[in-house]
Structure 1
Amino acid sequence: MSLGWAILPLFIMVITMVITIINLEQGPHIPLIVGTTVAAIVAWKHGFKWSDIEEMMYKGIKLALPAVVIIILVGLIIGSWIGGGVVATMIFYGLKIITPAFFLVTICVICSIVSLAIGSSWSTMGTIGVAGMGIGLSMGIPAGMIAGAVISGAYFGDKMSPLSDTTNLAAGLTGTDLFVHIKHMFYTTIPGILIALGVYAFLGNRYKSSNIDQEGINQTISMLDQSFVISPWLLLVPLAVIVLVALKVPAIPALIVGILLGFLSQILIQGGSVADAVGALQSGYVIDTGNAMVDDLFNRGGLDSMMYTVSMTIVAMTFGGILEYSGMLQSIMNQILKFAKSAGSLIASTIVACFATNATCSEQYISIVVPARMFSTTYTKMGLHSKNLSRALEDGGTLTSVFIPWNTCGVFILGTLGVGVAEYAPFAILNFIVPIISIIYAMTGFTIQKISEAEKLAILNKETVEL
């Protein structure tokens, strides 16, 4: 398929998206449906039957089903933890312990540690991140700034954890030893997180205690104490989930345990009825304290609150499925490969391709899978070690997914933290600084490791035999 036909659906989708979001102030669902329709017409024009096009859409949706399950469970866990007083307890003690000047640094570090332990940025944002938003907002810190610190921390741990699915995926697809892959990512990710923490420390100085309405913080603490039973024992609920995942219990069973514990906490500790607890799971927790900020923070969660995110994910993946399986995406990638004349330009092209896949296919996993398949042989032919490719996949794919409003990651963050891409993007420091560092390394040759001619021939011969 020619490049012109391949980019036509993407071009029309982006134009429609800009008009719909900026001018009409509506959501991105309809532009994605428009893009899917145009992609289907282009595929049909190039000889695909309607049954083939339907199958492409179904395949795209199937790829996102694990993410859909996690999205639903996170909605349930937010509802149950708010109803059970778990989130209120974390915010209560957080307001008493954390000072505003160090809040952004602290929440970023905490999210890094938790995500590193459990290997999931989504689970971290859906639990620790939600509480962090409450603490930061109570201190008068802008929502985008808080979300940026939460996202940076959560994605640092996700990227560097041996338990992370994206980390294992990038290593596995490129044939790189897992811990060799993680060690190679230290060169880009550690400087990235240090820069992020430095920026958060600088920003935090604007929110020293002298500039904060301490009376407002005290009022929030008092309101939480009046509205919920606050107990340090409730902190065992998130701790239990973290321990389970650290013990390599899969994310879904671990989250279900967290939901059950939150459900029981609402009934046994908060004194709510079974009907109230079930309602919190279905429709979210409902509270009326008279304090607008507290009400806005706690009136949320539940299965229903995630349906916007679920529908967005499904629509986005129908678009991505047609682009992927009709060959449109491959046509775009082939054009990108034409610029890869050297090792540096190849790695830079990989990072750009990962970002482009995040934008076109709307799914973080595809942004790793497709470029891995397309660039692997080229890396070998240029005599580059596979760990260069695996690192580029994570630097360009895993981290940049949060900057696409219609990507499953961007949609999840909006549904979970209540903050849109435009608001948090300038403060998600790690997520945009690491790809920049990675491209600089590629152009200078720093940390780029090559293989011998014998190793190169052995790998190419093995690939030929497998084919």
Structure 2
Amino acid sequence: MTTQQESAVRKPHILEVGVLLVCFLAIAFSFTGIFGLSIQLALFIALFMAILLGLRLGYTYDNLQEALKEGIFNGLEAVLILISVGALIGTWIAGGVVPSIIYYGLEFIHPSIFLLATVILCAITSLATGTSWGTAGTAGMAMVGVGEGLGIPLPLVVGAVLSGAYFGDKLSPLSDSTVLTASMSRVNIVEHIKSLLYVSVPALVISGTAFTLVGLNYTSESIDLSRVESIMAAISDTFSVSWVMLLPAAIVIGLLAMKKPPVPTIAFGSLLGIIWAFFFQGTDFITALGTAYGGFNLDSGNAFMDDLLNRGGITSMTGSVMVIILGLGFGGLLNHIGVLQVLVDSFTRFINNVGQLSVATLLTGFFSNVFGCAMYVSLILTPKIMEKNYDRLKVDRRILSRNTEVGGTLTSGMVPWSDNGIFMASMFGVPVLQYLPFLWLNFAAIGLVILYGYTNTFIWRTEATTPQPNAE
């Protein structure tokens, strides 16, 4: 905008912000919960609501359209990953990778420790690869299949998968969200991870213990072993099952652990799935190639297995891609016209201690996910909005980066229309509000951040030259 145009633009009033956001939430919840309409339509309408407010504030339409496009552009990597994971799932099922993992999981994992094993496996995978999405699409997808075979409630299994996936994603130096948060907070990446350990490790212990206790309810006596045996028999009758089938998963995880770019790495994994389907499953090459786009289709006569394995493909991600594009555009508009800044300023002015500062940071991250519709929006905006409050109270920036990561990364999967929420719900076929109560690591981490803030535990001040837990 020119200087003259900038002078004609004003900030939105809190009433205007409130009306816009209340209308958005009313449309989003009524469309999805009452009328059975898609969240995509709600977001499409919300775009024009934000544009109308921008015009009222003095912005030109051309300027608002540029902000919309910029918001979408900033999250296109997430769209590419989503498309790649869709292709990966379709080809890995066709290639016998996912069926083999499910088969061996049903054979070797005892039901009572299944949930804990899921948390640990996904945590290790996410630490090694640096991606919660990649973990969900590989190890997570397989563990969900095992859990369904054992008769464990699917939302509970998804909660265990995501607890492990988000634990590793926050602590891995390979994670784009971890690097972004440290960079935006102006904190060394190693120091950022060290600070997160004080929250993440206790949260993992708490959630792991909870999943272990719940898992004790699922024993060999409580599980219908005949159902498990029938599923294993159906898998072995339909697919060639062997340890060789696990090689594509090991290769992809290894490449991600070597910090190779996620999109080509996951796409390469899809190619391996096609090759495995052709050589080991007896599928003709064209049909195997088609599963990358249209997903895997099976009519085995076993309703459970057909429902479990008939999924994947790029087309299965179309709705999720649309939500992410519209959500990123909406978030870009809200950020550009100052809606998010006004919203956060309305409660950050009352911050007088570290406890209030921690809660405000968590709320900023959460609201950025709710109204920005993307984790990246939250991780970029939260440090920018909150940093002056940390400097004013002389709280070390490592606390800012830690709280931003918890408030931004761990709440993204809790919002049905955020990029993480849409991805995970589409991946596992479980609505966000169903798996939300079982995100125990996320809730434990949020609780620890608030506890540390109000008790001044593991809070470091800028006067200290080295971290001093419990320092004032």
Q: Quick check: 1:242 aligned with 2:242?
A: no
Q: Distance in 2 between matches of 1:454 and 1:420?
A: 46
Alignment of 1:11-160 (within 5 A): 11-160=22-171
Which stretch of the first structure deviates more once superposed, 158-167 or 444-453?
Answer: 444-453
CA distance in 2, matches of 1:71, 1:337: 35
Q: Which of 263, 268, 284 does residue 252 from structure 1 map onto?
A: 263
Counterpart residue number, 1:311: 322
Aligned partner of 1:462 in structure 2 is none
Q: How does 1:146-225 map to 2 (within 5 A)?
A: 146-225=157-236
Which residue identity lines up with residue 87 of structure 2 in the other structure? L
Determine the structure 2 residue equivalent to 1:396: 407
How far the C-alpha of 1:150 sits from its partner, in A, is 0.3
> Are positions 1:381 and 2:403 aligned together?
no
Distance 2:189 2:64 in 1: 36
Superposed CA deviations along residues 2-31 of structure 1, whole A, max 9, x for unmatched, are 111123222101011121122113321122
Q: What is the CA-CA distance between 1:454 and the residue it aligns to?
A: 10
1:209 partner SS: coil
Bigger drift between 169-178 and 297-306 goes to 169-178
Encode CA deviations 1:35-68: one digit per residue, 9 max, x unaligned. Answer: 2221111111111111111111111111110000
Task: Name the amino acid aligned to 1:358.
Answer: N
Which residue of the other structure, out of 271, 292, 297, is the alignment partner of 1:286? 297
3-state SS, counterpart of residue 211 of structure 1: coil
Distance 1:431 1:29 in 2: 26
Structure 2 partner of 1:458 = none
Matched residue type, 1:210? E
CA distance in 2, matches of 1:52, 1:454: 45
Which of 417, 421, 424 matches 2:435? 424
With normalisation by structure 1, the TM-score equals: 0.95
Moved more, 237-246 or 375-384: 375-384
Q: Please give the alpha-carbon distance, in whole angstroms, between the structure 2 residues aligned to 1:83 and 1:100.
A: 27
Q: CA separation of 1:454/1:150 partners in 2, compared to 1, >3 Å: closer, same or farther?
A: closer
Q: Distance in 2 between matches of 1:439 and 1:312?
A: 32
**Alpha carbons 1:9, 1:36 under 8 Å: kept:** no
The alignment yields a C-alpha RMSD, in angstroms, of 1.3
Pairing partner for 1:8 from 11, 16, 19: 19
1:228 aligns with 2:239: yes
Structure 2 equivalent of residue 440 of structure 1: 451
1:272 aligns with 2:283: yes
* Alpha-carbon distance between aligned partners in 2 of 1:170 and 1:311, rounded to the nearest angstrom: 26
* Structure 1: distance between partners of 2:340 and 2:128: 35
Amino acid at match of 2:52: I
Distance 1:216 1:340 in 2: 56
Distance 1:307 1:162 in 2: 30
User: What is the Cα deviation at residue 33 of structure 1?
Assistant: 1.9
SS at match of 2:74: helix
In 2, are the aligned partners of 1:383 and 1:453 still within 8 Å (CA)?
no
How far the C-alpha of 1:95 sits from its partner, in A, is 0.5
Question: Per-residue deviation at 1:453?
Answer: 9.1
Compute the displacement of 1:34 (Å): 2.2
Q: Distance in 2 between matches of 1:337 and 1:219?
A: 58
Q: Is the 8 A contact 1:339 1:346 kept in 2?
A: no
Match of 2:9 in 1: none
Name the CA distance, whole Å, in 1 between partners of 2:16 and 2:92.
Answer: 48
Measured at CA, do residues 215 and 44 of structure 1 come closer, stay the same or move farther in structure 2, by a change above 3 Å?
same
1:372-409 CA-to-partner distances (Å, cap 9, x unmatched) read: 11212321222111100000001111101010000000
Return the alpha-carbon distance in structure 2 between the equivalents of residues 253 and 275 of structure 1: 21
- CA deviation vs aligned residue, 1:423-461 (integer Å, no higher than 9, x gap): 101111111221121011111111110012999xxxxxx
1:422 Cα deviation (Å)? Answer: 1.1
Paired with 2:434 and 2:333, the residues of 1 have a C-alpha distance of: 30
State the 4+ residue runs in structure 1 displaced beyond 4 angstroms. Answer: none
Contact persistence 1:336–1:353 (CA under 8 A) = no
Matched, 1:336 2:347: yes
CA distance in 1, matches of 2:298, 2:401: 47
TM-score (normalizing by structure 2)? 0.94
Residue identity in the other structure for 1:203: V
* Structure 2: unaligned runs, 5 residues or longer: 1-11, 467-472
Aligned partner letter, 1:52: N
Give the equivalent residue in structure 1 for 2:6. Answer: none
Q: Deviations over 1:181-202 (max 9, x none)?
A: 1111111111111111111111
- Indicate the larger mover: 215-224 or 316-325: 316-325
Q: Is the 8 A contact 1:339 1:349 kept in 2?
A: no
Q: Which moved more, 1:6-15 or 1:111-120?
A: 6-15
Q: Report the residue type matching 1:443 in the other structure.
A: Y
Count of matched residue positions in the alignment of Structure 1 and Structure 2: 455
Q: Structure 1, residues 231-281: CA drift from partner, whole Å, max 9, x if none?
A: 101111111011111112121222122111111001111110122112211
Identify the residue that residue 377 of structure 2 maps to in structure 1.
Answer: 366
Is there any run of 5+ residues in structure 1 with no aligned partner, and where?
A: 456-467
Distance 1:416 1:216 in 2: 24
2:3: which partner in 1? none
- Structure 1: how far apart are the matches of 2:295 and 2:356? 49
The 3-state SS of whatever aligns with 1:207 is coil
Q: Percent identity among equivalent residues?
A: 34
1:342 Cα shift? 1.9
Q: CA deviation at 1:343?
A: 2.4
Q: Distance in 1 between matches of 2:445 and 2:193?
A: 14
For residues 17 and 381 of structure 1, the distance between their equivalents in structure 2, rounded to whole angstroms, comes to: 37
- Greater CA drift, 16-25 or 60-69: 16-25
